[in-house]
Every structure is written in C-alpha cells, then in structure tokens.
Structure 1
Amino acid sequence: MQRPASLLFSWLLLSLFAFSSIPANAAIGDAEAVNLAGMQRMLTQRIGASYLMVGAEVRTQQANMQLDDSMSRYEENLQALRSWAAARGTQEIQQQLQQLVNLWQPYRALAMRSPDRTAALQLIEMAEPLLQAAEELTLLIERHVAQPSSRLINLSGRQRMLSQRINMLYQARSWGVTVPQLETRLKDSIDAFDTALNELRQSPENTPETLLMLDEATRQWNFSRQGFDLSTELRFVPTVISSTTNQLLQQMDQLTLSYVAAGS
C-alpha cells in the first residue's frame, strides 16, 4: 500500500476524516457504550470501503489513512467495551463481545493484505457476520442500559454504518467486484438510511440543535442521492460518493454525540 510522504501531510489527512473517539484507557459510561458498540458496525464497512478505494486507486493516500485509522479505532473500541462489559455488562453481553473479537481477527488479517478484486469480495462477505455481531451487541447494550436516549443513539449511530456501507458497495460496483446481490444490498442500504433519517427527524426528543443537524444531513443526503442515480446509468463517480458519504458520516456522528451527551 502507498503511504503519505510526510508526517505533516498524514496529520492533515487524519484531520479530514476524524470522527468521535475516546482517550486511551478512559472509562466509558452507559450511553457511550451504546455509541461505541454502534461505531463498530460502521468501522467494519469503512474498512471495506477504504480497502476497495485503495485497490481501485480512488483517493489512494486518503483511503490508506482511513484504513489504518479505522482499524486502530476498532481495536481501541474493543478494549473500551471489554472494560465496560466486565464492570457493568451482563454475561450475555460479554459473550457477544467475545464473538465480535473472534470474527474481527481474520477480518483484520485480510484487510492488511494488498487489495485485489478477489480479496475485496472476500472482505465484503466477511464483513457481514462481523456487522451482524456488532448489531446484536449494540441491541443488547441498548436494552441493558434502558435509557430514553439509547434508542436515538443506536438509530443515529446506525446511520454512520449505512453511510459507509453505501460507499463500500458503490466502490465495489464501480471497481467491478462481483458481489452477490450487490444491487439489492445497495438499494436496501439507501432505503434504510432514508427511512431512519425520517424517523430521527420526527422524534419528539430532538432539540433545536439536533434538528439543525438533521436538516443539514438531509441536504447532504439529497445531494448524495444524485450520485447514486448516475450509477444506474453506468456513470460512476466514486470520488464524489466517497466525499459525500464521508460528510454524512461526520454529520451523523455529531448527531450521535449530541444524543450521547443528553443521555450521560
């Protein structure tokens, strides 16, 4: 994989793709546990998208930075969640978290290989059970925490995942990776994002601040949809989709953090 030429350039790239994280070894609360479990869903898809972008030479340096950063964050989140689960979680949560760890190791090993279309297909398929395990973990923690804000944290956090899943599947289509039922998966992800965005907007728990965030995310989403429509005509714009889905990730992450703050 290509690497950025200077530490300064690397730092600048990281700043472009920063999203919420926690300090090393910091204890997390219940609302943050829901957030981090939900973030693991997103990271599985972001790693896949970044891997495909490197292989297809779409923003290669930035994609390399995203890939490295996402894998590091996944490890950090696992550590934080394991500490939280040992102190405050149930045995069922701890067992589900261990399943996540077990699935993560082979996925991580494959993501570290030089990209090609065959490996990219394997990575996309391996991401599915890892995503489902993270989804189940998030739901278990949401139910265990049982705070009013937990539902919104989970729902808005899932939008982060969908933004990156859409990017991953779009990049696969653009690069010619023969993913089974790709069109159906992509359409289902777009529809799910649309439905959840409407649900979030209708929540009575929104504040004027979160409503403004949702308005901005809706404008960004409507712009992104134009790029998805072009792909049906085989006019691919992978760089544009990478940029717009990254913007959606940033917006939905900030929204999620607002819900976390409300529940802390």
Structure 2
Amino acid sequence: MNRRQMSALALGLGLTGLPAWAQVKDLNDAINKAGRQRMLSQRAAKAYMALALQTQPAQAEKILSQSMALFDRQLVELKAFAPSPTIRDTYVKLEAAWSDYKEKLIGKAPSLAGAEAVIAQSEAVLALAHQGTGQLEQTSGQPVGRLVNLAGRQRMLSQRLAKYSYASAGKIAQGAAQTEIGKARTEFLAGMQTLLTAPEATPRIKQELKLGEQQWLFFDAAINSTTGAAPSKEALSNVMTTSENLLTVLNEVTGLYAALA
C-alpha cells in the first residue's frame, strides 16, 4: 500500500486526525458508519486469523487494535443517534454481542484453536450490524441510502473474503470456508456492477470503482493462491496487503455515495 492509500484509509476509517468524539451527521452518515461496523466485524476476525497464522503479525496486531477501537467509538455514536426505539434495541443487542466478541478476540493469544469461536462470533456481530444498517436505510427511504448500504457492504465482503481465505489456510471448516468464499465473490462482483451502473454514480465515483476493479484482480489472485494444501507465507501476506488496498478504495466509494445530497 502506498503512502496516499495508507493516509486515505486511516482518515477514511476514522483512525487518525479526528476528534475522539464525532457525532453522526445525518442518515447517510449513519448508514455509512453502521455499514462500517459490518466491515470491522470481519476485519477484526481477519486480523485474528493472520496472527494465528503468524502472517504480518505487526500489521495484523495494529489492524485488530484499530478495528476494535473504531467499532467501540461508532457503536456509541450509533446508539446515541438511533432514530427509533427499534433501532436502538438493535444496537443494545449489538453491544452485548460485541462484548462477547472482544473477549474472544483478546481474551487469549490468537491461535488456530480459538479461531472457530472467533469466526462464529464474528458472524453474530455481523448479523446484528447488518440489521442495524438495513433499519437505517429503511428510515432514510431514499435511493442513495440503498447505495450507501450496498457500497458499505462491499467493504465488508472484502474483509469477509480475507477472513475465510485465512480460515481455509488454517484448516478451519475448510468446506464451509470455500462455500463462503464462493458466495462472497459472486455477491461482490454483482455489487460492483450495480454501483457502477447506478444513475447516481458520479464521474468521481465511477473512477474510484474502476480503481476498485483493478484492486479486485490483485486480491482475487491472492485468494486463489491460498487454496493449496500448504499456502506459502508470501501468499498469506498477499491476502493481507491486497485486502487492505481494496478496502481503501471501497471506503472512498462509500463515503462518496454518503456525501450525495
């Protein structure tokens, strides 16, 4: 990842240069942040798996720490913003599921023995985060709200693919991992096409999506390189690098859609 991309990711994900407390600005911003919680649920699991596989440990540790801190912060913001009791209830439930997830992520040193429980809890957190995002989109009732949700889901899929790529490499539920990789691939490609052809897509958004398509080729190749019986350290490292590069672009796309009036 080059310096521009790293800066964009850090700023876009809210990791640097922002105050410790940032209110949700409007419904599009809420959908963006709610969707980012989905991504963080998968990114944290990816980092855990990378640590268990001893892949880029310094980078994985940083990603895990940043992801957990950002999830915590956004959860507070989304609970405070919740425009209805039903949506607030979703975030109360998410808070409980997240608490259980954090214990599994950092309660013990990351290991392949603990990976199955981490993956299972990442799914529970993802389901509630997705529920909240959908509720906020419905509250918006605007076509752009659906696109912010969809673009944000692309971020999640990039990290989900990496998570299951590492699960397969670690011989964790290999059959299920390959099934999830196949489903996520199909959904990701369909999502890119929808975003690219949406009437609301500006020239800037289309430019970023084209860049995303290029990054996807590198990421997809990295995933394919881990499907062997014993993936190399280089192959596993490439999954980390390319998944982060793709996330940078997808986060930019989501932010651009969220900024549309």
TM (norm. structure 2) is 0.90
SS at match of 1:35: helix
SS at match of 2:23: coil
Change (3 A) 1:184 1:55: same
- 1:240 matched residue in structure 2: 238
Cα-to-partner distance string for 1:168-224 (whole Å, 9 max, x where unaligned): 111111223235611101111111111111111111111110010011001111222
**Aligned partners of 2:41 and 2:125 also within 8 Å:** yes
Residues in 2 aligned to 1:166 and 1:108: alpha-carbon distance in whole angstroms: 21
Moved more, 58-67 or 189-198: 189-198
What is the CA distance between 1:230 and its match in structure 2? 2.9
Change (3 A) 1:52 1:233: closer
Change (3 A) 1:232 1:50: closer
- How do 1:65-104 residues align onto structure 2 when only pairs under 5 Å count? 65-85=62-82, 89-104=83-98
Q: Could you tell me which of 116, 125, 133 is aligned with 2:111? A: 116
Q: Could you tell me which of 147, 152, 157 is aligned with 2:147? A: 152
Q: Could you tell me which of 23, 48, 52 is aligned with 1:51? A: 48
Change (3 A) 1:70 1:81: same
Residues in 2 aligned to 1:27 and 1:180: alpha-carbon distance in whole angstroms: 42
Q: Could you tell me which of 21, 26, 41 is aligned with 2:22? A: 26
In structure 2, the gaps of 5 or more residues are 1-5
Change (3 A) 1:254 1:17: closer
Residue 213 (1) aligns with residue 211 (2)? no
Runs ≥4 in structure 1, deviation > 4 angstroms? Answer: 14-17
User: How many residue pairs get matched?
Assistant: 247
Cα-to-partner distance string for 1:118-174 (whole Å, 9 max, x where unaligned): 211110011112111111110000010223311111000001100001111111112
Q: Could you tell me which of 204, 211, 222 is aligned with 1:227? A: 222
TM (norm. structure 1) is 0.89
> Kindly, what percent of the aligned residue pairs are identical?
28
**Aligned partners of 1:54 and 1:115 also within 8 Å:** yes
Residues in 2 aligned to 1:258 and 1:23: alpha-carbon distance in whole angstroms: 21
Residues in 2 aligned to 1:232 and 1:74: alpha-carbon distance in whole angstroms: 31
**Aligned partners of 1:17 and 1:66 also within 8 Å:** no
SS at match of 2:248: helix
Change (3 A) 1:15 1:210: closer
